[in-house]
Amino acid sequence: MSMAEEEKEKCLGDGSSSSPPSTTIANHTLTKVLGFAFLGGFCAYLVFSASGGSFFPSDPSDDGDVDGGCNFFAGSWISNPSGPAYTNASCKYIDPPNDCMTNGRPDREYLYWRWKPQSCDLPRANAEKFLNAMRNKAWGLVGDSIFRNQLNSWLCLLSQVEEATDIYHDEDYQSRTWYFPSYNFTLALLWAPFLLKAEVSRDASRNYDIKLHLDALESTWTNQYSNFDYIIISGGQWFLKTTMYLENNTIVGCHNCPEKDVKDLGFDYAYRKALQLSFNFIIESDHKPLVLFRTWLADHFEYGEWYSGGVCNRTEPYKAGEFNGDATDNMMWRLEVEEFKKAAAIGSKNRTRLKLFDTYHLSLLRPDGHPGPYRKLHPDLSKKPQNDCLHWCLPGPVDTWNDLATVIALNEEDSRSSSMK
């Protein structure tokens, strides 16, 4: 593995609000696939055979939420002249690296699209209706900085009815809890980028040293699991980092450690372990919230990597079939769907409530929705600043995730009310 490929592993940030948003190691060239040697023939076979002969998936999983026969996650982006539900001027919850308009992004076309499922319409989130339905309830978002992106979007939407109070944050502002007093409604971000227990440190050069326990979940979320009525959970791009893997506190392998006398198990091995352990915990727990498993988020770097001039300068969505992701992203998505199906089948026998929140496909079609170079106020483009092609501008495509979560939650509450009559 070349020095450049090793450097790719350092690109993801630590998720703290005071740090620049993380970017990802992936791009959409053959170089990325070749860069991960273990993917080789196995990955090609896995993706090709699972897709029934088509190398890349062109449609979301058919296990997405269905309401009256409608899969909310299968559809396309269509023009939306009415624009976003909020702006950077009307919302104070936007982190500076996601405030693309304030930071000088010149185009506005990315604001005027909405997601249209194939066989139904997706209503825009009704903040008042949602807050009334969530009275005396709590949501937990378990994962990495992408969930902070989503949580801030949600705060922007809901603050049109009532502003939230920040009632908790850890030292690094990674885990945070917001409270809507009039509704006794809580919205929390639980920092667990691996879902598993991880020992993460940085050396003097800011390089990560990560030890991941494949047999233990991160207590940040498991200790609070019983506090929530709704949970969205997801793994993410942290699994692509150089990492040592442990079981029973003993090193059993790694990802990307050629200088060590340790077997390279690959990041897909660790990710599968993380999902299996997480789903087992959810299934075996006596507490039965509605758990939405959010699928993989691909980046949109083009013409290079994050460290070599990669950019995301498109100004409109991809059309169907124009871009279907790369081999690594598709492999991770298929792995997720496979493990979700296993868990859902087992969980259905003991009242476990699991839904696939399959945002992979709809997010894949939005290369225009990222900050790009506009992570900071009026960047000097002549100096080719580092682009963020993973996180989302606010407002932006991530608002649709909350439209989807809202309609799923409202349908869930309606279903409960009907069953009690």
Active-site amino acid positions: 145, 388, 391
Locate all alpha helices (DSSP H) within 142-266, ordered by sequence. 145-158, 219-222
Sign of the four-CA dihedral 185, 189, 190, 194: positive
**Do 88 and 102 contact (CB within 8 A), yes or no?**
yes
Contacts 24+ apart (CB under 8 A), 101-106: 101/393, 102/377, 103/371, 103/374, 103/375, 103/376, 103/377, 103/378, 103/379, 104/374, 104/377, 104/378, 104/379, 105/371, 105/372, 105/374, 105/393
Question: For tokens 């939407």, what's the residue?
Answer: 157
Quick one: tokens of 24? 């990802």
- Cis bond leading into 20, ω under 30°? no
For strands 138-143 and 185-191, give the pairing. Answer: parallel
- In 3D space, the residue among 166, 13, 196 whose CA is nearest the CA of residue 97 turns out to be 13
243-247 β-sheet, strand order: 196-202, 208-217, 243-247, 250-255
Q: Looking at the DSSP assignment, which residues form a beta bridge with residue 255?
A: 243
Q: List CB contacts of 380: < 8 A, sequence separation 6 or more.
A: none
Taking residue 58's Cβ as centre, other Cβ atoms within 10 Å add up to: 11
Chain-centroid distance, C-alpha 141 = 10
Locate all alpha helices (DSSP H) within 287-397, ordered by sequence. 327-347, 360-364
Helix (H, G, I), strand (E, B) or coil at 188: strand
For strands 165-169 and 138-143, give the pairing. Answer: unpaired
Question: For tokens 């003991």, what's the residue?
Answer: 350
In whole angstroms, how far apart are CA 378 and each of 99, 209, 217? Answer: 11, 33, 41
